[in-house]
Amino acid sequence: MTDWTIDRAVTELLSREADRRDGGRITDAWPGLDLPTAYQVQDALLRRKLDSGEQLVGVKLGLTSRAKQQRMGIDSPLTAWLTDAMVLPEGTPVPVGELIHPRAEPEIVFVMGERLAGPGVTAATALAAVSSVHPGFEIIDSRYTDFAFTLPDVVADNASSSRFVVGGNGLPAQGLDLALEACLLGIDGEITHSATGAAVQGHPAEALALAANSLGARGIAIEPGWIVLTGGLTDAVFVEPGREISAEFTHLGTLRMTGA
Ligand code: 0L1
Ligand code: MG
């Protein structure tokens, strides 16, 4: 018998976020938190954010690259929600003081032109529904100490979502080879990590198809205008006050951001 409920887990995670504090894994206190229940926590957490005035603007994938999976010790991709409160306009300093222990990771980002509803979505049909492709940063800020979590923990925590940057005006997907699109991640001018789009499920459109199919299994479609973060290409690096983090893409452009 447990006194943990979906509602209690949501309250715990939201209060950690509001108080800028991390804490132990929910699954240590609630071993019965399985993956379907964790997605129920994630959806209930989204509802609380929407009730407080935030708008749903898209979906993100997490743990889509080997680099991220190896670092986190979890080999299953996941999905989570993006709201307007997480948008960090390009060029805006990352408000480190408002966060717990933020890390940044470079991502290939899609803005959707058409509705995409699984099951049966392929990478080709997914890519055809994309309006534009952008360089992006995700700033993750796990509500768990040292980013130590199991898959249900991180799913419940909306996949460590905190802030994200969508850069540039975007390019049409047609004409880009996103598997070969390279990204150099730099800290204070020194390149520390590199990857190509193939790091993300073989092709970022495979990640988009995966999101459409897994959301489809829950009766949810990806809507026109939604932003889709396809997952960290490389490991994430800590954001610190005064530290400049750059992501230089072959065709999508270069993004820079600095911790404040
Ligand atoms: O893009 C990603 O792979 C984010 C994964 C979220 C979990 C985390 O690394 O904290
Ligand atoms: Mg990410």
Q: What is the pLDDT of residue 184?
A: 98
Pocket test for ligand 1, best of 17, 101, 105, 158 (most atoms within 8 A of CB): 105
Pocket test for ligand 1, best of 154, 165, 227 (most atoms within 8 A of CB): 154
Q: What is the pLDDT of residue 17?
A: 98
Atom of ligand 1 nearest to the CA of 142: 10
Q: What is the pLDDT of residue 3?
A: 94
Evaluate: CB of 72 within 6 angstroms of ligand 1. yes
pTM over 0.75: yes
Gap between the Cα atoms of 99 and 230, Å rounded: 23
Apex 173 CA angle, 137 and 56, nearest 5: 50
Residues of the chain with pLDDT under 50: none
Q: What is the pLDDT of residue 71?
A: 87
Gap between the Cα atoms of 218 and 231, Å rounded: 20
Cβ–Cβ under 8 Å, residues 59 and 224? no
pLDDT digits (tens, 9 = 90+) for 213-235: 999 999 999 999 999 999 999 99
Atom of ligand 1 nearest to the CA of 160: 10
pLDDT digits (tens, 9 = 90+) for 187-206: 999 999 999 999 999 999 99
Backbone angles phi, psi at 96, to 5 degrees: -55, -35
Helix, strand or coil, per DSSP, at residue 85: helix
Just give the CATH number of 6-258. Answer: 3.90.850.10
Q: Which two tokens stand for residue 66?
A: 């080997």
Evaluate: CB of 231 within 6 angstroms of ligand 1. yes
Evaluate: CB of 159 within 6 angstroms of ligand 1. yes
Contacts of 92 (CB under 8 A, 6+ apart): 165, 257
Task: Work out the mean pLDDT of the chain and round it to a whole number.
Answer: 97
